[in-house]
Amino acid sequence: MYQLYIANKNYSSWSMRPWLVLKAFNLPFEEILLPFPLDRGTGTFKQKVRTINPNGKVPVLIDDGLMLWDSLAICEYLAEQHPDQALWPQDIKQRARARCITAEMHSGFPTLRNACAMNIRANLDDVGRRLWQDNAELRQDVARIEQIWSERPESHRFLCGEFSIADAFYAPMVMRLMTYNLPVIESTQQYMQTMLQHAAVKVWMDGALQEDAWVNYLESYQQKPL
């Protein structure tokens, strides 16, 4: 059985991606949660992770002694291990597209990532309105995401037809757009609803909402409730 080390579901967008792939395709795995420290530079998070992964980051997948420590590498490995499961689309053109848009997500959209950190349980409408008004690069990142999503084969389905690794990689962006209530077009809203109804996404979100850890350096827009 696979072991997947992740951080808090509420905050850890990179953990979310391979977790969704494992869950969506019913691949048996043990989830091992290593919570972020409540304050930056405190706690033992880095030390614990480094006993597994020398770079001190999650997610980490362990399979029979083999350690994989990058979200995309993890998902590529899972696709190779389970070729019958179509983690990448079966159609060659859709598979090529899925890999392109996944790679773009893996390395792109820095402004949206930095300005709108994932925080599933938060409601940051006011922050989103201010950021949208003041940050042209944020608007450009969202416009590019909307372009990618608008090119899906059918409006009521996923990015390349059936749910795939590509959708798992864009799932945290769905969370961000929802949390900050950024203004998006109808096609984008439809894709977001499709994702929010996916069983694996629901389970992750439920887990995030049940967490009570308040990580101060990831809550820059809010005061901790009394």
pLDDT at 220: 86
Q: Which amino acid is it at 51?
A: T
Question: Does the fold of domain 92-208 match that of domain 2-86+211-218?
Answer: no
pLDDT at 224: 79
| Distance, CA of 4 to CA of 26 (rounded, Å) | 14
* C-alpha to C-alpha distances, 8 to 16, 65, 138, 153, nearest whole angstrom: 9, 24, 25, 33
* pTM beyond 0.75, yes or no: yes
pLDDT values of the chain reduced to their tens digit, one per residue, 226 residues: 999 999 999 999 999 999 999 999 999 999 999 999 999 888 899 999 999 999 999 999 999 999 999 999 999 999 999 999 999 999 999 999 999 999 999 999 999 999 999 999 999 999 999 999 999 999 999 999 999 999 999 999 999 999 999 999 999 999 999 999 999 999 999 999 999 999 999 999 999 999 999 999 999 898 777 6
* Closest by Cα among 113, 220, 103 to 177: 113
What are the φ/ψ torsions at residue 64 (nearest 5 degrees)? 50, 45
pLDDT at 61: 98
Q: Which CATH class is domain 92-208?
A: mainly alpha
Q: Are the beta carbons of 142 and 113 closer than 8 angstroms?
A: no
Q: Which fold has domain 2-86+211-218?
A: Glutaredoxin (3.40.30)
* Closest by Cα among 151, 149, 160, 156 to 94: 160
What is the radius of gyration, based on Cα positions, of the chain? 17
Q: Are the beta carbons of 78 and 18 closer than 8 angstroms?
A: yes
| Distance, CA of 26 to CA of 56 (rounded, Å) | 28
Domain boundaries, the chain: 2-86+211-218, 92-208
